[in-house]
Amino acid sequence: MTPVRVSVPVVFDYLLSHLGFFAVLPVLPPLLGRLLPDAGPWFIGAALFAFNFAVRGASLFCATVLHQVPVRRAMISGLLMAAFGFALLPVAPGRLGIVGCLLLAGTGISTNGLMARVYVAMSLESAARRNTVFSAIQVAVNVSAALGPILANVMLGRDMYTPLLLVAAGMYVLAAVAVALLVPSGMRPRDGDVRPPLRLGLLRAVVADPHVRRVSLITAVGGFLYAQFFSAIALHVVHVTDSVGLRAGFFTANAVFVVLLQVPVSAYVARRMSTGTSSVRFLTVGVMIFGAAFAVMAVGGAAVIGVFAVVAVFSLAETFFTPTVNTAFSEIPGGRPVVELFNLRQVAATAGESIGAFCGGALFATAMQHDMQPVYWGAVAVFGVLAAVPYLRHPAQRTI
């Protein structure tokens, strides 16, 4: 198949599903408070942890089942699971019901994302052609990331949280229809197309192998800091301004900044890596810039212009950190299978982002109750810098 033929269904899938995803994610922390008025900070943190864990890591635990299911059916099932999870959220019975709906939605998102990538890998043999399709997917995700927060903040600002969740669910249903119409039937994963289930040996490698440990730790720290954007910062902007447009603007600006900065940053990183600079160095640079963003938040985050400055610095950090994670794991020595390397990546990212979302919900909300937001931002900034310093002082070589 041609890249265009393969890209059409997955671009529609990602454009529609991520429009629903980014209509919920930027407002999920305050939304949880609307759904359950007596929800305390610790419940919000736990709910964010559960959702992020499912979105990032659920496919690790159901790989055996996915290996036996046709690709199109698995993608549709994942999209409909996400739709049901969001649609049922307004009527979920209490804390357990809300967490259950978030787990259902997150598992569906994870399943669809994995099987969409499997579809691309099975349909195109050429790495260059696959990269063309994945680039098109990235554009679709950024378009959704720019538009979704506008819808989210406008509707939440009018207390239309139930219609918002139904609209998000509808986007996933439309994505499922697109997949049903456009993805060929009968395709099944081959051995190696789907990651094997999570094994104890995989976790042991993180601890025992210094190369794996190095990349996993810096990835987990970066994931922790990244997760603050849709947890602590999402809660923060609600208190900074009552303007629905400004609230949406913070998140839309992030998507726009990433699009504008990614090309020159990627060119710079590629040029430096071609001369021998380690990918871990750029992961570390990304973490340091994340830390700088939170230092700016600690100093000037009480003002709207300060938050926009934070978003700009945070977006720069993303352009260094996010694309380099896959490269860093693929360079780990020892002859490990590619599938296992990306399992390790998913373990590290899932751990970092899930814990980060919990802290951004529970600890930051607690800090807000005591007017200690700058203390929280300062602590996060210090954590990021201290975690990164050893990797800057003793950078890994390209042979790691």
DSSP-assigned letter for residue 70:
-
Q: And the tokens for 179?
A: 């997949």
Helix (H, G, I), strand (E, B) or coil at 395: coil
Tell me the percentage of the chain whose pLDDT exceeds 70.
Answer: 92
Global confidence as pTM:
0.88
CA atoms of 30 and 46, how far apart (whole Å): 14
Overall average pLDDT of the 297-317 stretch: 96
Overall average pLDDT of the 353-381 stretch: 95
Tell which wins on pLDDT, 134 or 44. 44
Overall average pLDDT of the 9-26 stretch: 95
> Residue 93: which residues within 8 A CB-CB, separation 6 or more?
none
Overall average pLDDT of the 280-307 stretch: 95
Pair 141, 14: CB distance under 8 Å: yes
Looking at residue 26, its pLDDT comes to: 93
Helix (H, G, I), strand (E, B) or coil at 1: coil
CA atoms of 176 and 337, how far apart (whole Å): 32
Mean pLDDT of the chain: 88
pLDDT of 386 over the 50 cut: yes
Tell me the percentage of the chain whose pLDDT exceeds 90.
Answer: 57
Tell which wins on pLDDT, 137 or 326. 137
Give the ranges where the chain is alpha helix by DSSP (H): 3-24, 28-35, 41-61, 63-66, 71-88, 94-123, 127-157, 161-182, 200-208, 210-226, 232-240, 244-274, 279-300, 304-330, 338-369, 373-393
pLDDT of 395 over the 90 cut: no
Looking at residue 175, its pLDDT comes to: 98
Pair 170, 20: CB distance under 8 Å: yes
pLDDT digits (tens, 9 = 90+) for 174-191: 999 999 999 998 888 766
pLDDT band at 398; cut points 50, 70, 90: very low
CA atoms of 395 and 376, how far apart (whole Å): 29
Instruction: Tally the C-alpha atoms within 13 A of residue 191's C-alpha that lie toward its C-beta.
Output: 1
Q: Quick one: which of 122, 168, 208, 204 has its CA closest to 27?
A: 168
Looking at residue 114, its pLDDT comes to: 86
Pair 14, 140: CB distance under 8 Å: yes
pLDDT digits (tens, 9 = 90+) for 236-271: 999 899 999 999 999 999 999 988 888 898 889 888
pLDDT of 339 over the 80 cut: no
pLDDT of 234 over the 90 cut: yes
pLDDT band at 399; cut points 50, 70, 90: very low
Q: Quick one: which of 130, 127, 112 has its CA closest to 58?
A: 112
Looking at residue 195, its pLDDT comes to: 62
Q: Which residues of 110-135 are buried (b: 16+ CB within 10 A; e: fewer)?
A: bbbbbbbbbbbbbbbeeeebbebbee
Residue with tokens 């890591």: 57
Looking at residue 128, its pLDDT comes to: 66
Overall average pLDDT of the 9-29 stretch: 95
CA atoms of 196 and 221, how far apart (whole Å): 25
pLDDT of 135 over the 80 cut: no
Q: And the tokens for 101?
A: 């709906």
Q: And the tokens for 53?
A: 């864990």
pLDDT of 400 over the 50 cut: no
Phi, psi angle pair for 227, to nearest 5°: -65, -20
pLDDT of 65 over the 60 cut: yes
CA atoms of 238 and 308, how far apart (whole Å): 14
pLDDT digits (tens, 9 = 90+) for 200-226: 666 676 677 788 888 899 999 999 999
Q: Which amino acid is present at 311?
A: V
